[in-house]
C-alpha cells in the first residue's frame, strides 16, 4: 500500500486535482463540472477545497452570474491546461510516419535467406523511409539469443520451431527439389527420376541453419535410403558452383535455386521421388519490439516484400 508521501500517489492525486481545476475553470459551474467528471457535488467540493489549500488561494468565487476566477486561478489556467495536454499525449498511441522515421533498425538474417531479400525490397524500404538506417548482418545458430539481447530488432531464418521467448510469423513455405546442371542425365529424365536414379549419383549435402529436424533426413531415414555425399556445406555461395560442372546432385529448397539462377548459375530442378514436409521461413522478434510502431511497420513491409518477390515453388 502506498504511503501518504509516496511520490507516485502524490502525482496521481495531483493530476486528478488539476483535471478538476481545468474543468471547473472551463465550465464556471460546480454542478456542470461534477456532471462532466461523473462526480458528486460533495466530491467535487472536497476537491476544490484541496485545490485552495494546495495553491493557498480561493481560486473560484461564487457570484450571481456563476463562478469567477481569481487572478491566481487565471494565471494557472494556461500552464495547467498545457500540462494536462502533455500528459494526455503521453498516453496516446505513438504515431508513426515512415517518411520522418530517423533511427537505425537492425535486421539479422540467415545467409540462405539473405539471398532471397532482393534489391527491390531494399529500394522500397528506402523510398518509404528515406531516413531509415538499416543495418543487416547474417545470423548463425544463436539468432534467438541475439534478438533477446537486443542486438537485432528483427530476425529471419529457417525454423521448424519457435523459441518460447520470441514472437514469430511464417513468411512463406518452401520445399526441397533436386538440382543439377543442364547436361546432367537427371536433367532431362522424364518423368521425374525414381529413387534408385536419384541415389546412384554423388550428392552435395546442404545444411540449413535453424532447422532442428531436417525433413530430408527424416524421409531418407524412413526409406532407409543412403546418399553418397561428396560435399557438405551450409554456405549459399559454396553450394551451387560445384553443381554446375559435375555429376553431383543437390537437394535444395526451391527458392534458393531461384536465387542462384538470378545470380547466373545455370541449373535445372526436378521433383524428388519422395515427399518431404514443407520448409518454413520465419520472421522473429522479441517482446522488446513487439509493440514498437517502427518494428510493426518494418515487419509488415518485409512480409509484403517476400510475398511479392518470390516465385511459386515449381520444378523445372
Give me the domains of the chain, ranges plus CATH numbers: 7-91 (1.10.10.10), 98-173+280-309 (3.40.190.10), 176-277 (3.40.190.10)
Segment (H or E) for 139: strand 133-139
Closest CA to 13 of 55, 53, 50: 50
- Please give the residue that has the higher pLDDT: either 157 or 85: 157
Query: Three-class SS of residue 39?
Result: coil
What is the edge-to-edge ordering of all strands in the sheet holding 267-270?
Answer: 228-233, 202-206, 249-253, 176-181, 267-270
For residues 144 and 135, give the distance between their C-alpha atoms in angstroms, rounded to a whole number. Answer: 17
- Check: CB of residue 259 under 8 Å from CB of residue 311: no
Q: Is the pLDDT score of 18 beyond 80?
A: yes
Average pLDDT, the chain: 85
- Residues of the chain with pLDDT > 70: what percent? 89
Averaged pLDDT for residues 295-303 = 88
| Most confidently modeled range among 151-155, 187-191, 291-295 | 151-155
Distance, in Å, from the CA atom of 79 to the CA atom of 229, rounded to the nearest integer, reads 77
- pLDDT at 122 exceeding the cut of 50: yes
Question: 222 — phi, psi (to 5°)?
Answer: -65, -35
Q: Is 66 left (phi over 0), alpha (psi -120 to 50) or beta?
A: left
Q: Is the pLDDT of residue 228 over 90?
A: yes
State the DSSP H helix or E strand holding residue 146, giving kind and residue range, or none if neither. Answer: helix 143-148
pLDDT on residue 250? 95
CA distance 26 to 66: 12
pLDDT of residue 169: 92
Q: What does the block give as the cell for 304?
A: 509484403
User: Does residue 205 contact residue 229 with C-beta atoms inside 8 Å?
Assistant: yes
pLDDT of 2 higher than 50: no
Q: How many residues belong to the chain?
A: 316
Distance CA 200, CA 278 (A): 25
| pLDDT surpassing 70 at residue 72 | yes
- Rounded distance between C-alpha atoms, residue 143 and residue 169, angstroms: 15
Which of the four pLDDT bands, split at 50, 70 and 90, describes residue 3?
A: very low
Position with higher pLDDT, 178 vs 235: 178
Mean pLDDT, range 79-94, rounded to an integer: 76
| Mean of pLDDT values over 162-177 | 89
Listed residue (236, 231, 222, 241) closest to 203, CA to CA: 231
Please state the rounded mean pLDDT for residues 89-96.
Answer: 67
Grid cell 536465387 — which residue? Answer: 259
C-alpha neighbours within 13 Å on the C-beta side of residue 232:
6
Q: Picking from 117-121, 192-196, 240-244, which range would have the lowest pLDDT averaged per residue?
A: 117-121
Residue 20 has pLDDT above 50, yes or no: yes
- Work out the angle between the directed axes of helices 119-128 and 293-309 (0-180°, nearest 10): 140
Query: Does pLDDT of 12 surpass 70?
Result: no
Amino acid at each position: 500500500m502506498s504511503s501518504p508521501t509516496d511520490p507516485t500517489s502524490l502525482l496521481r492525486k495531483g493530476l486528478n486535482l488539476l483535471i478538476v481545476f481545468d474543468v471547473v475553470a472551463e465550465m464556471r459551474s460546480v454542478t456542470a463540472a461534477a456532471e462532466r467528471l461523473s462526480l458528486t457535488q460533495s466530491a467535487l467540493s472536497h476537491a476544490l477545497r484541496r485545490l485552495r489549500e494546495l495553491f493557498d488561494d480561493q481560486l473560484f468565487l461564487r457570484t450571481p452570474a456563476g463562478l469567477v476566477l481569481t487572478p491566481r486561478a487565471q494565471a494557472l489556467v494556461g500552464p495547467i491546461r498545457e500540462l494536462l495536454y502533455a500528459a494526455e499525449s503521453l498516453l496516446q498511441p505513438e504515431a508513426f510516419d515512415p517518411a520522418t522515421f530517423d533511427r537505425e533498425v537492425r535486421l539479422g538474417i540467415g545467409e540462405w535467406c539473405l539471398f532471397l531479400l532482393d534489391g527491390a525490397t531494399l529500394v522500397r524500404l528506402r523510398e518509404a523511409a528515406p531516413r531509415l538506417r538499416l543495418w543487416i548482418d547474417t545470423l548463425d545458430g544463436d539468432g534467438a539469443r541475439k534478438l533477446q539481447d537486443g542486438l537485432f530488432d528483427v530476425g529471419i531464418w529457417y525454423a521448424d520451431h519457435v523459441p518460447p521467448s520470441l514472437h514469430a510469423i511464417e513468411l512463406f513455405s518452401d520445399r526441397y527439389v533436386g538440382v543439377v546442371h543442364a547436361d546432367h542425365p537427371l536433367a532431362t529424365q522424364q518423368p521425374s527420376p525414381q529413387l534408385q536414379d536419384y541415389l546412384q549419383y554423388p550428392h552435395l549435402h546442404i545444411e540449413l541453419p535453424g532447422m532442428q529436424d531436417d525433413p530430408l533426413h527424416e524421409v531418407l531415414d524412413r526409406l532407409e535410403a543412403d546418399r553418397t555425399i561428396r560435399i557438405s556445406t551450409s554456405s549459399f555461395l559454396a553450394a551451387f558452383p560445384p553443381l554446375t560442372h559435375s555429376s553431383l546432385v543437390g537437394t535444395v529448397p526451391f527458392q534458393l535455386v531461384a536465387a542462384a539462377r538470378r545470380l547466373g548459375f545455370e541449373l535445372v530442378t526436378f521433383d524428388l521421388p519422395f515427399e518431404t514436409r514443407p520448409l518454413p521461413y520465419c520472421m522473429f522478434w522479441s517482446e522488446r519490439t513487439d509493440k514498437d510502431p517502427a518494428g510493426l511497420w518494418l515487419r509488415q513491409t518485409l512480409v509484403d516484400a517476400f510475398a511479392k518477390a518470390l516465385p511459386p515453388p515449381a520444378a523445372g
